[in-house]
Amino acid sequence: MAAVAQETPTQTRTDDAVVRIQGLQAHYGARQVLHDIELTVAPGEIMVIMGGSGSGKSTLLRHLVGLMRPTAGSVELLGVDITRAPALEMQRLRRRIGVAFQGGALFSSMNVLDNIMLPLREHTQLDRQTMEIMARLKLEVVNLAGAEDLMPAELSGGMVKRAAVARAIVMDPALLFFDEPSAGLDPAVSSALDDLILKLREAMNMSIVVVTHELESAFKIADRITVLDQGRILTVDDVAGIRRSDNARIQNLLNRRAENAEVDAETYLRRLTGEAAPAGDPQAAGTKQDAGAV
């Protein structure tokens, strides 16, 4: 495994990186789920984090947006180390970051317009009319005009995701995080979301981090792709580099056989007989995480 990790190519180490993760380690209880994560995202870049289920990509995203604290290491967003920043500085930083969750996470008790306006109401002193126009503008951007008064329960899956994007970008964030944009959507709708992501970067020069397991979507939008496997970074490369990689695991990912490809006989037997794996066995940790993390 160490040999694989070393394959990580040179990373852009510019000083104005909008995301910089250094030496990140994360545990669930005693079990380590992320190992030695190093990652940078440049301004205006679309970085896709890929991996199968249980690869740790969702956990990594939770650390990136400050929903989990790492056991060790630092996570810098727009120059602020969110593992150490005081509450007030975090509050300021939150204005410049947007997060679109996998299931949309719209507040079910509010209509679409109020959902989108909530960050403005909580963070700014703007006039109500200004906030409303801003929210409606964002609805236009995500192609959801006319849905203002609908409740989240009345929206289709694709509409929920677009409303979630509208809420995430309502404050014109410099940095947007997007969790599984394609999950649960049919190909046409998910392709439209990919176009939206590209459009946002183009027009608003946002830096965007997308977590996905959809290869097609990743190849379409990514400037660079980070491949995670069992809590470690396998490689960071541009689309062309990923395509021609001869690493077996990446090839497995490309062929969508990631799920069952990696289990050795001993682990498999232990799993079938329900015998607990020895602590600190990364192989077992990686497979067991399926149940817990997703």
Partner 1 sequence: MSEAVREVNGNLVVSLTGEIDLDRAPEARRLLLDCVKRSKDVLVDLSAVTYIDSSGIASLVEALQWAKQRGTDLCLVAVSPQALRVFELARLDKVFAIHPDLDAALAGEN
Partner 2 sequence: MQRVAEGIGKGVLRGAEEVGFAGALFLEAVLWAVLGPTRRQPVRLAAVVAQMMQIGVEALPIASVLAATIGMMLAIQSLYSLGLFGAESFATVGIALSVVREFAPLIVGILVAGRSGSALAARFSTMMINQEVDALRVIGISPVRFLIAPALFAMMIMVPCLTMWANIVALSAAGLFVTAQLDISLAAYFADVVAALSVNDLAHGLGKSVLFAALVALVSAVNGALADGGAEGVGRRTTRAVVQSIAAIIMVDMIFAFVVTAG
Query: Considering the rule CB under 8 A, would residue 88 count as an interface residue with partner 1?
Result: no
Choose the contact partner of 129 out of partner 2, partner 1, none; CB within 5 to 8 A by kind: partner 1
Member of 27, 35, 95, 271 binding partner 2 (CB under 8 A): 95
Member of 81, 107, 202, 290 binding partner 2 (CB under 8 A): 107
Choose the contact partner of 205 out of partner 2, partner 1, none; CB within 5 to 8 A by kind: partner 1
Contact 1, 50 (CB under 8 A): no
Query: Considering the rule CB under 8 A, would residue 91 count as an interface residue with partner 2?
Result: yes
Choose the contact partner of 273 out of partner 1, partner 2, none; CB within 5 to 8 A by kind: none
Member of 2, 15, 16, 108 binding partner 2 (CB under 8 A): 108
Of the pair 82, 134, the CB lying nearest partner 1 is at 134
What is the full DSSP assignment across the chain?
-HHHHTT--PPP--TT-SEEEEEEEEEETTEEEEEEEEEEE-TT-EEEEE--TTSSHHHHHHHHTTSS--SEEEEEETTEETTT--HHHHHHHHTTEEEE-TT----TTS-HHHHHHHHHHHH----HHHHHHHHHHHHHHTT-TT-TT--GGGS-HHHHHHHHHHHHTTT--SEEEEE-TTTT--HHHHHHHHHHHHHHHHHH--EEEEEES-HHHHHHH-SEEEEEETTEEEEEEEHHHHHH---HHHHHHHTT-HHHHT--HHHHHHHHHTPPPPTT-HHHHHHHHHHHH-
Query: Considering the rule CB under 8 A, would residue 127 count as an interface residue with partner 1?
Result: yes
Query: Considering the rule CB under 8 A, would residue 101 count as an interface residue with partner 2?
Result: yes
Q: Applying CB under 8 A, which part among 10-18, 60-68, 195-203, 230-238 lies near partner 1?
A: 195-203
Q: Applying CB under 8 A, which part among 7-15, 84-92, 142-150, 268-276 lies near partner 2?
A: 84-92
Query: Considering the rule CB under 8 A, would residue 63 count as an interface residue with partner 2?
Result: no
We find the least distance from the C-beta atom of residue 198 to partner 2, in angstroms, to be 23
We find the least distance from the C-beta atom of residue 77 to partner 2, in angstroms, to be 11
Query: Considering the rule CB under 8 A, would residue 90 count as an interface residue with partner 2?
Result: yes
- Scan residues 154-183 and list those touching partner 2 (CB under 8 A): 167
Query: Considering the rule CB under 8 A, would residue 1 count as an interface residue with partner 1?
Result: no
For 211: left if phi > 0, alpha if psi spans -120 to 50, otherwise beta; the answer is: beta
Choose the contact partner of 119 out of partner 2, partner 1, none; CB within 5 to 8 A by kind: partner 2
CA–CA separation, 286 and 108 (whole Å): 34
We find the least distance from the C-beta atom of residue 294 to partner 2, in angstroms, to be 12
Phi then psi dihedrals of residue 178, to 5 deg: -135, 120
Query: Considering the rule CB under 8 A, would residue 16 count as an interface residue with partner 1?
Result: no
Positions in the binding site for partner 1 (CB under 8 A): 95, 123-127, 129-131, 133-134, 137-138, 140-141, 170-172, 199-200, 202-205
